[in-house]
């Protein structure tokens, strides 16, 4: 049955009184034309135009990444595992309990943005706050490599890593598209009867690439980082899926069978445009008797803890991540 | 520092594709002038006008309550405990593990609405889905009895109940104002060195009666049950607080010391006007090393699982409540 939409009156959204001073200042910034910019993206077939767009986004991210590198000194080692480019992130101090543990990281960026060294921003924060070694997988990306290249790369690296590390001491995490890829990988591992990680943390996960979740509507323009599904997100979804439908169970793993998954940490914010993916994922995992820990942050937009790494909210997100893996890894 | 608010354009909010058919149908209903009605409330001093308003709300709730009674047959026994009116809710089947357990219930309704037998709607659902006995406290309410009458009554009943039941087998739960009162009671118990319940479940809790949480702004008019802070909610807050400030730590227990609380279940929905209270409460509990289980429901408005008791979402909420107490009660 088709229902009529309900009109929402125009409103005025104050900066939340309930977030840290650092986050307040960030939220108060104008959106810098971002709301207009996201409306225009190239056609899926126009690879060069997409590559230019990706490069221009990555140039902006590079500035932020260098600040993060300064602030969180770690050793970054580029390696190849199973032919895939990865970065090993080693913090100055590894806690005694973490000596034989490893976290495997899959970065976000809509499957196309923030590759190369940029991939490691979140891995650096996790390594720093968790005092643990992290391997960040720089999977192949569109426009040249749509699905299943990212999943193939993640799978190849995982197959190799489980011959080196004890799987009960391995965790897997990632934000946004990284959280979606993580979930697709775990579904793939289960299907192939390969060893699963001891625990997983898809954060602000993008697990349904179709415009279906309710917060695409309720949090549109409320979220200041992802802002709206229209334009960039829709374009990135198409770019990754290629000829496949967006609701394919390995492209939108919310539609996969989610039985028998490892203990799962979910983190999102009340302003997250993709908050519905977190809620729907939690419900589906619980309906399959999954162990799920959901941490919700006041006033936080999509993946904002990665950009506002100065804010105490970011430290708290990575503190929760660290405690979660401490509870579930041997 | 004062920041400028951000203008939000008018939007059109579709009925979520991601909720059950029963919830879809409910969400599609027009708001029946509710958005206008909530804007006009009597002055705090006008007790008669408030009592008339409360009576008219309760008459509407009565229709729904009788449907719920039909659908979930339980035995309802009116008793007095420590001079306070309570209802004992006994389901047709009590599960073997629940034989010596008791759940204590504090109803919602902004501290003033839904007293008397109406108080027991949520208690009946919890008793039915949990196969457990529930005692629902019909605490005194404004306009005649503002704070601290409700807290005094809850405390008096609790003091008596802990002489009858083993505290390790007692849970405490309640929605909205019931969740706030619950939290105030637990803070009071801790302050008086009285035994705490083994586990607590403040659901869609109203733990800050000031208009501070961010979702009062982001989910205004998105939430279809509470709709907006202005009008009714603001009036009820004033009515309960009387001469005291709204941020008094026993009126808005989010501002109380929240250290050493029992394991806590929080449940809310992505459309909940008061979702920020849930997020902020979780953060504060976690900052005090609390054990917190948060379950988030897609597309659900404030306390909507109480009104849409036909929807599978409601069964799922009370299923989570039941499993939570099973995990934490002896």
Q: Which tens digits make up the pLDDT trace of A91-101?
A: 999 999 999 99
Examine the pLDDT at B45 and tell me if it is beyond 60: yes
Please compute the mean of the pLDDT values over residues A269-288 and round it to a whole number. 98
Q: Which tens digits make up the pLDDT trace of A16-55?
A: 999 999 999 999 998 765 555 567 899 999 999 999 999 9
Please compute the mean of the pLDDT values over residues B295-310 and round it to a whole number. 97
Q: How much is the pLDDT for A32?
A: 64
* CA atoms of B325 and A74, how far apart (whole Å): 44
B219 neighbourhood in chain A, CB within 8 Å: 218
Q: How much is the pLDDT for B36?
A: 58
Q: Which of residues 172-231 of B touch A (CB under 8 A)?
A: 212-215, 217-222
Tell me if A223 sits within 8 A of A292, measured CB to CB.
no
Interface membership of A18 toward B (CB under 8 Å):
yes
Q: Which residues, in sequence order, are bridge partners of residue A88?
A: A77, A135
CATH of A40-325, one of 3.30.43.10, 3.40.50.2300, 3.40.50.1820, 2.60.40.3080: 3.40.50.1820
Nearest CA in chain A to B11: A8
Give residue A124's pLDDT band: very low, low, confident or very high (50, 70, 90).
Answer: very high
Output the six-digit token pair for B164: 């009858």
Interface membership of A7 toward B (CB under 8 Å):
yes
Please compute the mean of the pLDDT values over residues A215-237 and round it to a whole number. 94
Query: Within chain A, what is the greatest distance between any pair of CA atoms?
Result: 58
Q: Of A51-65, B155-169, B276-290, which range is least confident? A: A51-65
* Strands A75-81 and A170-175, sheet pairing: unpaired
Interface membership of B270 toward A (CB under 8 Å):
yes
Output the six-digit token pair for B35: 């958005």
Q: How much is the pLDDT for B316?
A: 98
How many Å lie between the alpha carbon of A156 and the closest alpha carbon of chain B?
34
The burial class, CB within 10 Å (0-12 / 13-18 / 19+), for B329 is: buried
Say which CATH class B41-328 falls into.
Answer: alpha beta
- Beta strand ranges found along B176-230 (DSSP E): 199-203
Helix (H) or strand (E) holding B65: helix B47-71
| % of chain B beyond a pLDDT of 90 | 93
Which value does ipTM take for this structure? 0.97
Are B296 and A298 a contacting pair at CB < 8 A?
Answer: no
Interface membership of A327 toward B (CB under 8 Å):
no
The burial class, CB within 10 Å (0-12 / 13-18 / 19+), for A208 is: buried
Q: How much is the pLDDT for A40?
A: 81
* CA atoms of B235 and B40, how far apart (whole Å): 9
Please compute the mean of the pLDDT values over residues A69-88 and round it to a whole number. 98
Please compute the mean of the pLDDT values over residues A183-192 and round it to a whole number. 98
**Region class of B244: left (phi > 0), else alpha (psi between -120 and 50), else beta:** beta
Examine the pLDDT at A291 and tell me if it is beyond 90: yes
Nearest CA in chain A to B266: A294
Higher pLDDT, B31 or A130: A130
Q: What is the mean pLDDT of chain A?
A: 96
Output the six-digit token pair for B197: 């319940």
Q: How much is the pLDDT for B34?
A: 58
How many Å lie between the alpha carbon of A278 and the closest alpha carbon of chain B?
8
Cα of first residue to Cα of last residue in chain B, in angstroms, is: 50
* CA atoms of A127 and A102, how far apart (whole Å): 10
Are A298 and B286 a contacting pair at CB < 8 A?
Answer: no
How many Å lie between the alpha carbon of A208 and the closest alpha carbon of chain B?
11
Give residue B300's pLDDT band: very low, low, confident or very high (50, 70, 90).
Answer: very high
Q: Which tens digits make up the pLDDT trace of B89-138?
A: 999 999 999 999 999 999 999 999 999 999 999 999 999 999 999 999 99
pTM higher than the cut 0.95: yes
Please compute the mean of the pLDDT values over residues A51-63 and round it to a whole number. 94
**Three-state DSSP string of A147-214:** CCHHHHHHHHHHHHHCCCCCHHHEEEEEECHHHHHHHHHHHHHHHCCCCCCCEEEEECCCCCCCCCCC
Q: How much is the pLDDT for A35?
A: 57
Q: How much is the pLDDT for B269?
A: 98
* CA atoms of A29 and A15, how far apart (whole Å): 10
B145, B149, B153, B156 alpha-carbon torsion, rounded to 10° = -140
Q: How much is the pLDDT for B31?
A: 78
Examine the pLDDT at A88 and tell me if it is beyond 90: yes
Highest mean pLDDT among A3-12, A151-160, B5-14: A151-160
Domain segments of chain B: what residues?
41-328
CA B47 to chain centre: 24
Examine the pLDDT at B174 and tell me if it is beyond 90: yes
B314 neighbourhood in chain A, CB within 8 Å: none
Output the six-digit token pair for A301: 């937009």
Under DSSP, the state recorded for A78 is: E
Angle at A196 (CA atoms; ends A190, A197), nearest 5 degrees: 150
* Distances from the Cα of B55 to the Cα of B59, B62, B144, B174, angstroms: 6, 10, 14, 22
Report the SS3 class of residue B194: coil
Q: Of A24-38, A184-198, B46-60, B136-150, which range is least confident? A: A24-38
CB-nearest to B296 from A16, A282, A320 is: A282
Please compute the mean of the pLDDT values over residues B232-245 and round it to a whole number. 96
List the single best residue of B3, B224, B263, B321 to mutate versus A (max A Cβ within 10 A). B3
- Is the preceding peptide bond at A143 cis, omega within 30 degrees of 0? yes
Q: How much is the pLDDT for A91?
A: 98
* CA atoms of A222 and A228, how far apart (whole Å): 9
Of B103, B106, B107, residue with least CA distance to B161: B103
CB-nearest to B218 from A4, A9, A271 is: A271
Output the six-digit token pair for A260: 């028998």
Examine the pLDDT at B281 and tell me if it is beyond 80: yes
Q: How much is the pLDDT for A31?
A: 78
Long-range pairs of B158-166 with CB within 8 A, sequence gap ≥ 24: B158/B104, B158/B185, B158/B189, B158/B194, B159/B82, B159/B194, B160/B81, B160/B82, B161/B81, B161/B102, B161/B104, B161/B135, B162/B194, B162/B195, B165/B100, B165/B101, B165/B102, B166/B100, B166/B330
Interface membership of B247 toward A (CB under 8 Å):
no
């Amino acid at each position: 049955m088709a229902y009529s939409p309900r009109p929402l009156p125009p409103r005025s959204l104050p900066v939340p009184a309930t977030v840290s001073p650092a986050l307040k200042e960030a939220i108060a910034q104008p959106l810098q034309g971002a709301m207009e910019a996201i409306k225009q993206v190239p056609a899926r077939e126009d690879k060069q135009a997409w590559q230019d767009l990706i490069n221009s986004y990555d140039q902006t991210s590079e500035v932020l990444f260098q600040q993060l590198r300064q602030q969180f000194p770690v050793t970054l080692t580029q390696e190849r595992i199973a032919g895939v480019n990865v970065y090993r992130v080693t913090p100055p101090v590894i806690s005694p309990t973490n000596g034989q543990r490893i976290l495997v990281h899959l970065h976000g960026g809509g499957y196309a943005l923030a590759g190369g060294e940029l991939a490691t921003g979140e891995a650096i924060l996790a390594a720093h706050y968790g005092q643990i070694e992290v391997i960040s997988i720089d999977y192949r990306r569109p426009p040249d490599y749509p699905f299943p290249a990212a999943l193939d790369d993640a799978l190849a690296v995982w197959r190799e890593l489980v011959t080196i590390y004890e799987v009960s001491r391995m965790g897997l995490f990632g934000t946004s598209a990284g959280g979606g890829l993580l979930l697709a990988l775990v579904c793939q591992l289960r299907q192939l009867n390969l060893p699963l990680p001891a625990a997983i943390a898809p954060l602000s996960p993008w697990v349904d690439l179709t415009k279906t979740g309710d917060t695409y509507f309720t949090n549109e323009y409320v979220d200041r980082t992802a802002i709206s599904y229209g334009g960039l997100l829709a374009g990135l979804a198409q770019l990754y899926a290629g000829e496949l439908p967006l609701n394919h169970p390995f492209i939108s793993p919310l539609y996969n069978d989610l039985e028998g998954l490892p203990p799962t940490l979910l983190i999102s914010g009340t302003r997250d445009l993709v908050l519905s993916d977190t809620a729907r994922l939690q419900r589906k995992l619980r309906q399959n008797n999954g162990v799920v820990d959901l941490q919700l942050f006041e006033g936080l937009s999509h993946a904002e803890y990665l950009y506002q790494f100065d804010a105490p909210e970011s430290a708290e997100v990575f503190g929760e991540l660290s405690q979660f893996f401490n509870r579930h890894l041997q």
